[in-house]
Amino acid sequence: MNRKDLLDQVIKDLNGIVGNGYDPAVRINEKFFQAAHSWFSYVWWLLTEAPGLRKNRQEIQEFMDLPFLKWQAETHRQLGRLERLKFPGLIEPLKQALLTELPYSSNEPTLLLSLGCGTMEVERQLAEAMTIRNLSIPMVIIGIDNSLQIEDEAAQNLNGLASRGVVDFQIIKQVDHENLTILCQKTKEAAKIQLAICNTDLFSLQDLPEGLFDMVYHSRLKHHIKMNNKTHLDELIEKLCACKAFEFDDYFSVPNFIFPSFITWKWPLTLNGAILSYLRDASKKELKGQANDRWALKFFNLGFYLRTLTKAQNNQPPRNIGERLNALARF
């Protein structure tokens, strides 16, 4: 489908759900895609519409947040393609932080939780980097995402690594004692990273036992979370993580609108995700205002930030996986 046909089809689909409870998101997205037909109308939209949206940013939903299965899948694929590019390295700071903090000396399985994992591109790049550097530890990563076709998209994205025998990938219906026990056994026996995806809302994990995961992290998720749930997300992470947690996202800055507009122009769904998410992002000032003694904050030049929570040092974590799984069995 060429760019114009895609834009027309998207607008038609948006019109099809007018009045179904998705306003004002439908109106916002329709105007965006109308403007994306030409550079002139797009720049005009940036100058005249975007500032007003920024002021009411709780009203913004990206096209990916609306209930279009086929478009959600396409948006995930396009984001994955972009994140694979060496430059600008859209998930590099998070990948490096995870690589630095993994407990390489441990023989016990390390449990990681990735919230809003999308196609598990972060995990794909992490596993690839570990293979290149010959770093091998028993490790299970559970990805959580509530997008409906995400399991198929993740399976496709990880197919290359799985067929080379670097990782095993599975879909799990819930994060429970049985599934985690099997995955922990598999990572020890097969000496392979076990990646699993669970299609559920992340807030459904709130009853899991404290400190179940060594590390908990998320990438480009925070801006999708409603204002009144952002603190709730931090609390959930503080509860579930035993050692370190990472929050990785973009912050609001004017240059963020210029560069991505050029690189994503060819792919209007990614352009929509990038630009509307920048409009929802917290500013540097807001992030600094939220800083506290538990979460350290670091900014990166390309408009990214990383918040880090340290509950215990990675070289002395509460490594007894048996106890943690037993606690899960009691739930």
Ligand X SMILES: C[S@@+](CC[C@H](N)C(=O)[O-])C[C@H]1O[C@@H](n2cnc3c(N)ncnc32)[C@H](O)[C@@H]1O
**CA distance to 67, 109, 159, 171, 268, per residue, from 154 (Å):** 19, 22, 8, 9, 22
Q: Give the shortest CB-92-to-ligand X separation in angstroms.
A: 12
Among 47, 55, 86, 201, binds ligand X (CB under 6 A): 201
What tokens appear for 119 in the block?
């196609």
Q: Give the shortest CB-322-to-ligand X separation in angstroms.
A: 29
In terms of Cβ atoms closer than 10 Å to its own Cβ (0-12, 13-18, 19+), residue 193 is buried
Listing DSSP states for 109-138 in one string gives PEEEEEET-TTTHHHHHHHHHHHHTT----
Q: Is 144 in the site for ligand X (CB under 6 A)?
A: yes
C-beta of 220 vs 324, nearer to ligand X: 220
Q: Is 175 in the site for ligand X (CB under 6 A)?
A: no
**Within a 10 A sphere around the Cβ of 148, how many other Cβ atoms?**
12
The piece of 6-14, 45-53, 110-118, 155-163 that touches ligand X (CB under 6 A) is 110-118
At a CB cut-off of 8 Å and minimum separation 6, what does 40 contact? Answer: none
What tokens appear for 95 in the block?
């990948």
Among 145, 214, 234, 250, binds ligand X (CB under 6 A): 145
Q: Is 121 in the site for ligand X (CB under 6 A)?
A: yes
State the Cα–Cα distance between residues 212 and 239, nearest whole angstrom. Answer: 9
Q: Is 247 in the site for ligand X (CB under 6 A)?
A: no
How many residues at the interface with ligand X, by CB under 6 A? 18
C-beta of 201 vs 293, nearer to ligand X: 201
Q: Give the shortest CB-179-to-ligand X separation in angstroms.
A: 17
Contact yes or no for 82/109 (Cβ under 8 A): no
Binders in 208-227 for ligand X, by CB under 6 A: 219-221, 224
C-beta of 220 vs 244, nearer to ligand X: 220
Q: Which residue has the tokens 């990948």?
A: 95
Helix axes 69-84, 150-163, angle to 10 degrees: 40
Among 147, 261, 264, 272, binds ligand X (CB under 6 A): 147
The piece of 9-17, 123-131, 144-152, 312-320 that touches ligand X (CB under 6 A) is 144-152
Q: Is 260 in the site for ligand X (CB under 6 A)?
A: no
Q: Is 202 in the site for ligand X (CB under 6 A)?
A: yes
Residue among 39, 42, 128, 46 at smallest CA distance from 83: 128
Residues in contact with ligand X by the rule CB under 6 A: 79, 83, 91, 116-118, 121-122, 144-147, 201-202, 219-221, 224
